Chains A and B, each alone.
Chain A
Amino acid sequence: MSDVCIVGIGIHRFGRTDGMSGVDQGVYATYAALADAGIKWQDIQFAYGSSDAAGNPDTMVEQLGLTGVQFINIRNGCAAGGSALFSGQMAIKSGEFDLGMAVGFDKHPRGAFNALPSEYNLPDWYGAAGYMVTTQFFATKITRYMHDYGITRTALARVAEKAFANGAKADHAWRREPLTLDDILNAPLVSDPYTKPMFCSPAEGGVALILASEKKARELGRPLIRLKAASMRTRPNGSFEVFAPSIDIQRGGTATRLAAAAAFHQAGIDPNDIAIAQLQDTEAGAEIMHMAENGFCRDGEQEQWLAEQRTHLNGKLPINTDGGCLACGEPIGASGLRQVYENVVQLRGNAGARQVAGNPKTAYSHVYGAPGVSAVTILER
């Protein structure tokens, strides 16, 4: 079976863009990706679009051109972008198409996500009592993890410190001011042990990726960035997810572990072969837990990895090289595709001040979210 290649990438910067809808930001990213691939919208045979809160992605055709193109909308929580990419990849692998697009955008209101119990099949009292708060869940999850594996608050702060340092070097990032460890540790607590800069914020942004069969990619003459694996998984028994009135005493696996294992199996490589990784970091502890869940280290080793700066741009395994969700914010529909965008930039060697040294050839991306979904990709140059 032929590899699927990413032949064009485009992004609308993350953060807040007043006067531009989410759809507009998706269109902006699409034009950038088409130009990068050297093709026109009329050449696109299919599209998968993801958005959680900014409307139907297929409405983009009004601005892009009414070509009659097959355009499927995807809404899949934090895995939405990854699911769009997964679906696009399958469309090409099936042999049905040889040139298409995965696009994602979003535009969330300011402040924490406002979830209602009925959207999660939960009773109303659960929200009335004050538990429909994502930050609260993340805080209880990391409190237990820190207790079990000896992770310190300093380690949490180191993750955020790195994120803002990397974000300062990324044009598309939102938070571009470096913060010191003390700034981060002494900031107001949101939900113990997390302070404000240890959480990402809901945001806006758009990303488009042009996908092609290997044959088509060679015709286009673009650098061959191969999508060696794309997986999406839901939670197994015993995982600990957001908005859980109760959890089993017998703890189990996670959606991330399943998605990671599937992706490494597809790609035929293991975590030691990965040169750079973008891991879901909606909060600082998420990056720490996901380092282990994706197989890059064992639970507890993160403390030392972070102290030794092994995940910095010049470390053994640079993680979240554009500052991740912490620096870019989280527009749900676009977030997973931003990771892949950043990986392509890095693999092409075009990342400027944040370029990872050593000519990276493999790159990993991972998203995770409610209610226990995860999507992983592995790219190879």
Chain B
Amino acid sequence: MRPITEGLFTEEMPPRLLGGRDRENGRIVFPCPADSRFVATPLARVGKIWSYTIQRFRPKTPPYEGPQTFVPFAVAYVELPDEVIVEARLTDVKHEDIHIGMLVEFSPSPLDPDAESSVLIPAFRPIGAAA
């Protein structure tokens, strides 16, 4: 499976998210802007949930390209220590178990889990969750 777009995560296994570090002030953002002011920088693999919600209706298409058959999904902002807070899917967790402060690790997830050739999107899962 390939990433939903180039330059979102590293090619190592397991991969890390790629942020952009501002050459002028060191501020880190995600994704890395196509601007020479920012240097692509691999981000911490482990972070903690800063906030979250459950998306309970299918987002409108366009722009959403997920499966037609909708299953509610968890979205989180994950704080990567001393770097930045990034928005990503949360997988491999019961929705009622999610809480602020929960430790999670980066693990890209298919946009459509039932499709053989789904693209991968940025996602986190609880540390130690089964792949």
Contacts and interface: CB of A to CB of B under 8 A. Distances in A.
Interface in A244-275: 244-249
B79 A244 contact: no
Contact of B56 (A111, A131, A192): A192
A132 interface: yes
A143 B77 CA distance: 11
B29 A246 contact: yes
Given A114-B60, A125-B8, A127-B62, A247 B53 contact: no
Interface string B80-99: 00111111010000010000
Given A125-B5, A131-B87, A246-B29, A143 B60 contact: no
B121 interface: yes
A195 B121 CA distance: 27
B53 A248 contact: no
B38 interface: no
Nearest to B111: A129
Nearest to B17: A246
Nearest to A138: B53
Interface in A125-163: 125-133, 136, 139-141, 143-144, 147
Top 5 nearest A-B pairs (CB, nearest first) are: A127-B63, A139-B53, A144-B51, A246-B30, A128-B65
Interface of A: 111-112, 114-117, 123-133, 136, 139-141, 143-144, 147, 188-193, 244-249
Interface of B: 4-5, 8, 19, 27-31, 50-57, 59-60, 62-66, 73, 75-77, 79, 82-87, 89, 95, 100, 111, 121-122
11 contacts: A112-B57, A129-B64, A129-B122, A130-B64, A131-B75, A132-B63, A140-B75, A141-B51, A192-B54, A244-B87, A246-B28
